[in-house]
Amino acid sequence: MNQPRPARAIAVVAPLALDAGALVWPALCACAALAAVFPLWVGRFLPYQDAPQHLAAIRVLADYHAPRFAFEKWFEIDLLRSQYLGFYLPAALLSRVCGPEVACRLVLSAIALALPAATWMFLRSFGRDVRLAVFAPALFHTAPLYLGFFNFVESIPATIFVIALVERELHAPVRARAALLAVAAVVLLYLHPSALALALGAAGFLAVTGGAGVRRALRAVSPFVPAVALFASWMVRSLFGQSSTVVGSAAPHWQPLRERILDLARLGNVLAGHADEMFLGLLLLVWLAAALVPGRPAQARRWRLPLLVLLVGAVYFAVPESLGAAGSMHLRALPLLAALVLAAPLLAPGRITSALLLAAVVLQLGYDARLASMYRSFEAEAEAPQLEQVLRQAEPGKRLLSLVHDRQSRIVQFQAYQHFGMYYQVERGGRARRNFAELPWTPVRLRSDTPAVSLPPGFEEHPEWFDAQREGADEDYLLVRGAAREPGAPFVLKARAGQWTLYEASR
């Protein structure tokens, strides 16, 4: 007789539910990051000191073989000796689709979005409250960006990411993560050597203080070996191989201690007015208030991050201000120092802390709206239509020297117009000067078989030194900004609009 089969149990699968609360803080981080991106897209020109140089390099890399630009006549490309490829190659690839200016903005936008993402991972790695990541987008619009250190700016979220990987390897080693760390360290070198040096120092400190044992500490830092080997090779070939005819003395130079201390407060001083100081002051007050809310949890070895802050601060005060062609070297420690300071406190749970962190997001939204307005003002000040009108009168593919007598903007800090002559190379091709292709660590180099007349160190800051028979001996055009005396023979007036004047050599 057949026995009845037992009834089969039916598994009940709970419906997928969306935890809205878990999405609040990632959404706020994204909102603050998108607000930081918005000013990049409101004007024709980016108000960053070295931006035209980077745009010109991107144009050469993307359109090297285009006959109308004649880049092959003036430049050669060397991808093996440059440590700036992490920025230039993605931008050059995008430039083939959308042009160098849009490509550059796309890469900068990705950097701004990566800052809170990397910081979120960093906070989780160190057991800190991930809500602190809402402060990370404020690190974007700071001095390194406005100086135009795009390669280094891109390395900031990458450095934070690498340090987070090291901390995770110390506590739970995984082969796949170690491989990722090795690749990330090499990528960091090709973003900026200074960033690799900072990450390596931080990794060594964390390994020593992590309490994970010698074997695990060595395993956590061993993925840096390939990057360190490449870094040493670059130091020998590039940094110590600088030509004194291009960069002047390679001896290190330190600022007075007072200036170094003041530069701590100048990290966010990027506008000509006081809106940036007011924003930073309020943001720091909000951060301090959140850090002091009672009820903060306890954590083992909580002292490691504050001590790492002191270590990076010591590096900031120890490194020279300049070494050969490398300037503002101390500023490169400031973004990491600021990120570590923001991530250091333990936060109390609860609504008071959340309300303060929400206020930080609101402050950033307001400040970024102010920045967008200032960028529009810079667009008017730069006289973009007049510059384009003047550059159209120059034949493409020629040689141009820029003499910028009024380098300072009334809108933003730093010498925003110093390299505006490079827009000839961006728009018309050819070779503009002073050109970063004359430096030893860029992927675009002046052709060795087409030498250019040597310009004295500091020439771009002293256009009054110009002599038509000396610096103008091999130039086809002069682009002048601001009032200045006539350059003299063989240069004659070609076009003038607003503050921009073009002279042509009549040889």
Write down the pLDDT at residue 7. Answer: 45
Contacts of residue 283, Cβ cutoff 8 Å, sequence gap at least 6: 135, 138, 360, 363, 364
Q: 């809500």: which residue's tokens?
A: 131
- Residue in the structure block whose two tokens are 């108000």: 47
433 closest CA partner among 392, 493, 468, 474:
474
Question: Per-residue DSSP letters for 162-227?
Answer: HHHHHHHHHHS--HHHHHHHHHHHHHHHTT-HHHHHHHHHHHHHHHHHS-S-HHHHHHHHGGGHHH
Token digits of residue 168: 């995770």
CA distance 387 to 383: 6
- CA of residue 4 relative to chain centroid, distance: 74
For β-strands 322-323 and 477-481, DSSP reports them as unpaired
**What distance in Å separates the CA atoms of residue 503 and residue 480, rounded to the nearest whole number?**
8
HSE toward the beta carbon, residue 198, CA cutoff 13 A: 36
Where would I find the H helices in 327-414? 334-343, 351-382, 384-391
Distance in Å from the first CA to the final CA of the chain? 115
Closest Cα partner for 188 from 175, 202, 174? 202
Structure tokens at 237: 């070939």
Instruction: Tell me the pTM.
Output: 0.90
Phi and psi dihedrals of 500, rounded to 5?
A: -105, 130
Contact at 8 Å (CB) between 253 and 246? no
Q: What is the pLDDT of residue 184?
A: 96
Parallel/antiparallel/unpaired status of strands 477-481 and 399-404: parallel
Q: Which residue has tokens 């093996």?
A: 80
Q: Measure the CA–CA gap between 66 and 88, rounded to whole angstroms.
A: 18
How far apart CA 367 and CA 271 sit, in angstroms, is: 11
State how far the Cα of 327 lies from the Cα of 143, in Å rounded to an integer.
13
Cα angle 9-12-16, degrees, rounded to a multiple of 5: 160
3-state secondary structure 432-459: EECCHHHCCCCCEEECCCCCCCCCCCCH
Residue 136 pLDDT? 97
Each residue's pLDDT, cut to its tens digit, for the chain (507 residues) gives 455 554 444 443 344 444 556 789 999 999 999 999 999 999 889 999 999 999 999 999 999 999 999 999 999 998 876 778 999 999 999 999 999 999 999 999 999 999 999 999 999 999 999 999 999 999 999 999 999 999 999 999 999 999 999 999 999 999 999 999 999 999 999 998 889 999 999 999 999 999 888 999 999 999 999 999 988 887 776 655 555 544 445 678 888 888 888 888 889 999 998 999 999 999 999 999 999 999 999 888 899 999 999 999 999 998 888 766 666 778 888 999 999 999 999 999 999 999 999 999 999 999 999 999 999 999 999 999 999 999 999 999 999 999 999 899 999 999 999 999 999 999 999 999 999 998 877 899 999 888 889 898 888 889 999 999 999 999 999 999 998 889 999 999 999 999 999 999 987
